[in-house]
A = this chain, B = another copy of it.
Amino acid sequence: MRALVTGGAGFIGSHLIDRLISRGDKVVVLDNLTSGKIEFIQGHIDSGLVTLIEGDITIFEDVLNAMNGIDCVFHLAANPDIRLGTKITDTDLKQGTIATYNIVESMRRCEVKKIVFASSSVVYGENAPMPTPENHGPCMPISLYGASKQAGEGLISSWVGTFGLQAWIFRFANIIGHRGTHGVIFDFIHKLKADPSRLEVLGNGLQEKSYMEVGDCVEGILHVMEKSNDSLNLYNLGSHDTASVKRIAEIVVEETNCLDAKIEYTGGDRGWAGDIPRAMLGIDKMLSTGYDVRYSSEEAIRHTAKCLIEEIGL
Q: Is the CB of A93 within 8 A of B89?
A: no
Classify the interface of chain A: helix, strand, loop or mixed. Answer: helix
- Of the candidates B97, B105, B142, the one whose C-beta lies within 8 Å of that of A160 is B142
- Of the candidates B137, B147, B161, B162, the one whose C-beta lies within 8 Å of that of A157 is B147
Q: How far is the CA of A16 from the CA of B147 in the complex (A)?
A: 28
Asked if A146 is at the interface (CB within 8 A of a chain B CB), the reply is: yes
Chain B residues within an 8 Å CB radius of A154: 123, 139-141, 146-148, 150-151
Q: Which of A51-101 contact B (CB under 8 A)?
A: 85-86, 89-90, 93, 97-98, 101
Asked if A274 is at the interface (CB within 8 A of a chain B CB), the reply is: yes
Q: Which of A87-128 contact B (CB under 8 A)?
A: 89-90, 93, 97-98, 101, 105, 108, 123, 125-126
Asked if A242 is at the interface (CB within 8 A of a chain B CB), the reply is: no
With A147-B154, A151-B151 as given contacts, are A234 and B138 in contact (CB-CB < 8 Å)? Answer: yes
Chain A 232-244 interface 0/1 with B at a Cβ cutoff of 8 Å (1 = within): 1010000000000
Q: How far is the CA of A105 from the CA of B92 in the complex (A)?
A: 13
Chain B residues within an 8 Å CB radius of A86: 162
Q: Is the CB of B158 within 8 A of A142?
A: yes
Q: Is the CB of A140 within 8 A of B85?
A: no
Q: Which of A291-311 contact B (CB under 8 A)?
A: none
- Of the candidates B98, B105, B151, B153, the one whose C-beta lies within 8 Å of that of A140 is B153
Q: Which residue of B lies closest to A149 (CB)?
A: B154
Q: Is the CB of B137 within 8 A of A137?
A: yes
Q: How far is the CA of A157 from the CA of B136 in the complex (A)?
A: 16
Q: How far is the CA of A273 from the CA of B155 in the complex (A)?
A: 15
Asked if A174 is at the interface (CB within 8 A of a chain B CB), the reply is: no
Chain B residues within an 8 Å CB radius of A138: 134-137, 139, 234
Asked if A143 is at the interface (CB within 8 A of a chain B CB), the reply is: yes
Asked if A163 is at the interface (CB within 8 A of a chain B CB), the reply is: yes
Q: Which residue of B lies closest to A164 (CB)?
A: B273
Q: Is the CB of A274 within 8 A of B161?
A: yes
Q: How far is the CA of A85 from the CA of B126 in the complex (A)?
A: 32
Give chain B nearest CB distance to A200 CB in angstroms: 22
Asked if A144 is at the interface (CB within 8 A of a chain B CB), the reply is: yes
Give chain B nearest CB distance to A134 CB in angstroms: 6
With A137-B137, A234-B140 as given contacts, are A158 and B162 in contact (CB-CB < 8 Å)? Answer: no
Chain B residues within an 8 Å CB radius of A155: 93, 144, 147, 151
Q: Is the CB of B157 within 8 A of A125?
A: yes
Report the 10 A-B pairs with minimum CB-CB distance, sorted nearest first: A142-B161, A137-B137, A151-B151, A147-B154, A147-B158, A140-B157, A162-B274, A150-B154, A162-B273, A135-B137
5 pairs, CB–CB < 8 Å, chain A vs chain B: A93-B97, A136-B137, A142-B160, A144-B155, A147-B157
**Which residue numbers of A lie inside 8 Å of B, CB to CB?**
85-86, 89-90, 93, 97-98, 101, 105, 108, 123, 125-126, 134-144, 146-148, 150-151, 153-155, 157-158, 160-163, 232, 234, 273-274
